[in-house]
Amino acid sequence: MENQQAKSFWHYFKRRRMAVGGLVMIVIMFLIAGLASFLAPYDPGKTDVSVKLKPPSLQHNVGTDQLGRDVFSRMLYGSRISLSVGFVAVGISIFIGILIGAVAGFYGGWVDSLLMRFVDTMLCFPSFFLILTVVALLGPSIFNIMVVIGITSWMGTARLVRAEFLSLRERDFTQAAKALGVKDPRIIFRHILPNALAPVFVSATLKVASAILVEAGLSFLGFGVQPPVPSWGNILTEGRTYIFDAWWLTVFPGLAILITVLSFNLLGEGLRDALDPRLRGRR
């Protein structure tokens, strides 16, 4: 049965060329991030003022910055920041979302009402501004950024998991487990949760995309990963002073962010369509 489902999922997924393209790009991005130290032609921190602000050339294929550092090497290392912030932040957010959604959906009643009002409340805050404020309070560091994005973006997951739980807890297998005297946590995590994970997985993919954008936005405002550690956002920020003299400092890091975020968005949409039987026939 499991195998059959996986097969049919793959059958529908691989027909979505844009989503497969996104998946391939993500794998490539991971390889780049992992192998940055082998792939980088220069040390990303090495300054050389004799070649500062040089346009793309054979020696420096996407040019150099105001300190003569090789932008291509800096971008290769910068991919690590974007990907790790994306994944860890979403991991935290999914964890909180599942916990709150599962408890609300499984127990219902006043527990559910209380938790859902909490979700409503959190959703009212403009998330980017809230993240900016809290990161500024705690001080910008990669760890703080991951945690703050994580604890301010779990609401969607919680609603999703709650809705799944509300319907799954009425199903026969849950009732059977209850009748057998299985303890609540075991019913929640072993019996119901595995059946509710597919939509969570889809939304997680899309959330990685938005987490990467948030990190870039924070870096842009000076509250991201601090220089000299390179991230795509802070290469862009340092480059904006020279925008009319050195366009490559603006164009290429932005393009890297765009391609990565686009890949996650395409993959997420493709997964959603392939996992949703109602959408399958449409294409």
Give contact residues for another protein (rule: CB under 8 A).
18, 117-118, 120-130, 132-134, 136-139, 209, 213, 216-217, 220-223, 233, 236, 240, 243-244, 247, 250-251, 254, 257-258, 261-262, 265-266, 269, 283
Smaller CB separation from another protein, 134 or 177: 134
Smaller CB separation from another protein, 44 or 224: 224
Smaller CB separation from another protein, 30 or 128: 128
Separation CA 63–CA 248 (nearest Å) = 7
Question: At 243, phi and psi to the nearest 5?
Answer: -55, -35
Separation CA 117–CA 23 (nearest Å) = 36
Please report where in the chains the tokens 């959603």 appear, as a residue. Answer: 272
Residue 38's identity, in one-letter code, is F
Taking the complex as a whole, the smallest distance from the CB of residue 129 to another protein amounts, in Å, to: 6
Separation CA 52–CA 232 (nearest Å) = 19
Taking the complex as a whole, the smallest distance from the CB of residue 43 to another protein amounts, in Å, to: 26
Smaller CB separation from another protein, 22 or 97: 22
Taking the complex as a whole, the smallest distance from the CB of residue 38 to another protein amounts, in Å, to: 28
Taking the complex as a whole, the smallest distance from the CB of residue 35 to another protein amounts, in Å, to: 24
Smaller CB separation from another protein, 73 or 265: 265
Taking the complex as a whole, the smallest distance from the CB of residue 236 to another protein amounts, in Å, to: 7
Tally the C-alpha atoms within 13 A of residue 207's C-alpha that lie toward its C-beta.
26
278, with CB counted inside 10 A (0-12, 13-18, 19+), is exposed
Separation CA 215–CA 232 (nearest Å) = 9
